[in-house]
Structure 1
């Protein structure tokens, strides 16, 4: 089998790229190790930047989002009983974010791929990338039907942090930068109405908490926890009690308790592998970078990566110019590092670190106080939160 672009991984990066390439008249085949049900069922991000919403609209995939997505023009930070609302729309010229879970995004992408005839091979195991430094790259794999090999012009590695694409790059080529945070997020989903109409980020002596939602009847809540803790240590009653304590009495009065139907602990890390291109292999999304979820940048960064990559590939196939492909890594990383900075800053601001000193805590208090009184500081937060442009002037 042959195609122009082999896409490894059917997560957000891979499926967005497949649709973008199809819109540009470029053939692509997606290879995915897992089933559609597994990929679609993963509980991940829930905040879409304006740019991501615009891409879905451009691809004609925003029908359910327009109906079910919750547009948020503000977000809230609370600490020690004081709440600061960041008016996103007023501070960014009318821009906003939209609450629409990654599971819903993936459903839209998969449904449209099936309707539009985009080829996705599920259950593709033992993936191996070949000749990525030459001019005849390819991907071999195995399915229940037997061995397969996909010849192509280029390979897009969209298979996440644990995928094979990044590992296919020879040792010594990549510069890996990583920070693993000394805590995790314990999150639950519950079919109860959210405590607030906008997200609330809470800083408390016991640790961070986040009041979020997936719809007007489904809530998503998180609390900071130790990386050594287990889900079994947190029955629903204990979780709700701790959440309400950290959110503070004013918001706790609006928390509706109910049984959780999903509960898990996610570690936090910052990670970047650069460059994001080696030969005919291009990395995108979590295969190249990870951000802590505080800034809600993971899925959105994956989308900006593949928008840039699709533009570069379209330029190549239109006129055989390699300028966009040669500049892809630097262009993508310029945005990646800004998102890494914001996510690191926001994480540092709102969480309690086990090795923090009294000075560190006073800096958090001072920063939060400054955000409460400075429009300039709020603008910086708002601009980053709603999403920076692909190529800022």
Structure 2
């Protein structure tokens, strides 16, 4: 920059000297010298002025066609999507983004378009989803297809986003299988424990001299009924993903509660269970095995809660009463209170607050009661009691 300023200064001096020489030669009558001096002055002065001018800016880039920037931005966004995007127009299937080109090994038009994919895209309404299985190298891979429509040049084209759900399906199947096995094992073990204890009690009574045959008969009959119920329960539940519909018949409430009380006394002899069916109807229309399993699950949950909390004087209640259009089974215990935050979540499958709990009992109880058209809920704590109420509707004219 300094050298440029020096050169410019020299040019200006030369131009000034040339101008002075031109004036002198004109006064002396040397006209040829005057013309030459003027040319030198003009050239050096012009060069100096040109040197002082700022450099011209670079020419602007060629104009981008309208919408081209937006198109490039959209293409970049689409290529970042991990979900393959395809478009179906006039029967021609095209790959929209990089993930689709990689999936179908195509640059644009998918020459060997899977017929199943074309059919699903044609039949699925915009905004809806469907599933399709694609053959990828001899391996069947399930995909979820989210369908939509796009207006291209006045024509409507079907757009689809493919999501590989193979991994999710395998994980869901494994989880469902594990949960089902856990439910079955939980209920079978819990039902077998009091039955085995009652059978041991009956065997011990037979060794008494003389044996109390009436008590032995009651114990054996209870074992027979409960084991038969457990077998029927397991047979219907064995290969199902949900609880079977209840097989409703008239069930004697006295027989139902007596069996539960006897099993409870054998399973937890240190906990007093008070049964009150004074205001209950003689019978109820229900699936005896399912209803017994539901009530037993709530009683067992209460007993375990009291034992875990080391309640000084554990006690439980089982009462059945008739309301306007339902039979209400109230199951209360002296266990620790359940916080309002857990009032609903305790019924969620596999949710438990006990160290060794599985979180199945209350969820199964609610499922059974709801299968009968009723519901089970936690009542507000009162007087140191934690209570649940299971309401089963009474049929008209019952």
Give the structure-1-normalised TM-score: 0.20
Of structures 1 and 2, the larger Rg is shown by 2
Query: Which structure dedicates a bigger proportion of its chain to strand?
Result: 1
Q: Which has the higher contact order (CA 8 A, sep 6+)?
A: 1
Query: Which structure dedicates a bigger proportion of its chain to helix?
Result: 2
Give the structure-2-normalised TM-score: 0.19
